Structure 1
Amino acid sequence: MPITGECFCGSIKYKVEGTIRDARSCHCSRCRKAFSSQASSYALVKPSDFVWMKGEELLTSYESQPGYGLRFCSRCGSTLCGTYKGSVHGITLGCLNGNPEIEVGYHIYVGSKASWEVIPEGVKAYIEGPPQND
C-alpha cells in the first residue's frame, strides 16, 4: 500500500510507492524558519518511488543552498518535500496521511535549537549532524 501525503489545503497530493527511511528531526535555525516550528521532521525517499498525484503545477520551490531546496504549496504554504539537484529526496512527516510506520530515530543540530525548546531525555541527539558511520 503506498504512503500518501498532501498539503494543508489538499490542493497538492503525492504518493510514495516504496519505503521511507532514516526519519529525523532537525533543530537548526534554518529548519525552524523554513518549517515555522521548533524543528523539521522528515524522512528520506528514493526519487524513483515518489510521484505527484495532484497539483504539481501549484508547487513553489526554494533553493536554500546550491543543489538543495524545498517545495511548498503556493496556496497554503505547506512544506511538502526537500529536493536535491531537482529531485525529491525527502518528505516532511507532518504532511503524511495515515500511519507511515516509521518513527523519528534521532534529532540533529540540537546545539543550535531554540532556547525555549526542551529536548526530551533519552532520545538520540547530536549537537550537529549525525556521525557518518551512524
Structure 2
Amino acid sequence: MSEPALTGGCLCGAVRFEISEPLSEAGHCHCTRCQRRTGTASSAAGLTVPGSFRITQGAEHVRAWHPDRGFDKGFCSACGGHLFARDPGDDTVVAVRLGAIDGDPGVRPSYHQFTAFAAPWQPLPDDGLPRHPERRPR
C-alpha cells in the first residue's frame, strides 16, 4: 500500500485524516459563513479528488453543520477544529481546510470567491488571483 499524498487533523489530535491523491485546486472563500465559522476574513480550502479523502482516526468526534444551501461543514466536536466541507449531493466531493493539513498541501490558492461579501475590516489582497463576487463557476 502506498503512502497517502497528504495527512492532517484537528487541533486536539482526536480526528485524523488522509488524502490519497494530490489536491486538484485550492481557493479562498470570503462568504459570511466562512467568516463566522473561522473567525477570520476568509477560509482557504483545497479540493480533493473524488474518493481520495478518508478519516483514519476519531470519526466519532466528527460533527457536521448542514446549512440550507452550500456544503456541509465538518469539524471536531472535542476542540472545534474545522476540517472539511462536503457536497451534500455527492459525498465524494470534499474540500479540506488547508490549515488542517500537516505540512505543505502541495497546492496554492488560485482564486477568491464570494468577494462581494468580503470582510470590510480586511481588504482583499492584491495578489493577482481571479476574484468572483459569488461562487466561482466550475
TM-score normalised per structure 2: 0.87
> Alignment partner for residue 123 of structure 2, among 103, 108, 118?
118
**Partner residue of 1:63?**
66
Larger strand share, 1 or 2: 1
TM-superposed CA distance for 1:47, in Å, is 3.9
Q: Are the equivalent residues in 1 in contact too, given 2:23–2:106 (CA < 8 A)?
A: no
CA deviation map 1:9-40 (0-9, x unaligned): 01100000012122001101111112221111
What residue identity is the alignment partner of 1:128? E
Q: Are the equivalent residues in 2 in contact too, given 1:72–1:81 (CA < 8 A)?
A: yes
CA deviation map 1:35-77 (0-9, x unaligned): 2211111011134111111101111111012573111100100
- State the superposition RMSD in angstroms: 1.7
TM-score normalised per structure 1: 0.89
Equivalences for 1:1-134 in 2 at 5 Å?
Answer: 1-2=3-4, 3-65=6-68, 68-85=71-88, 87=91, 89-124=94-129, 125-132=131-138
Q: What fraction of aligned residue pairs are identical, expressed as a percent?
A: 27
Unaligned runs of 5+ in 2: none
Q: Are the equivalent residues in 1 in contact too, given 2:16–2:57 (CA < 8 A)?
A: yes
Any runs of at least 4 consecutive aligned residues in structure 1 with deviations exceeding 6 A, and if so which?
none
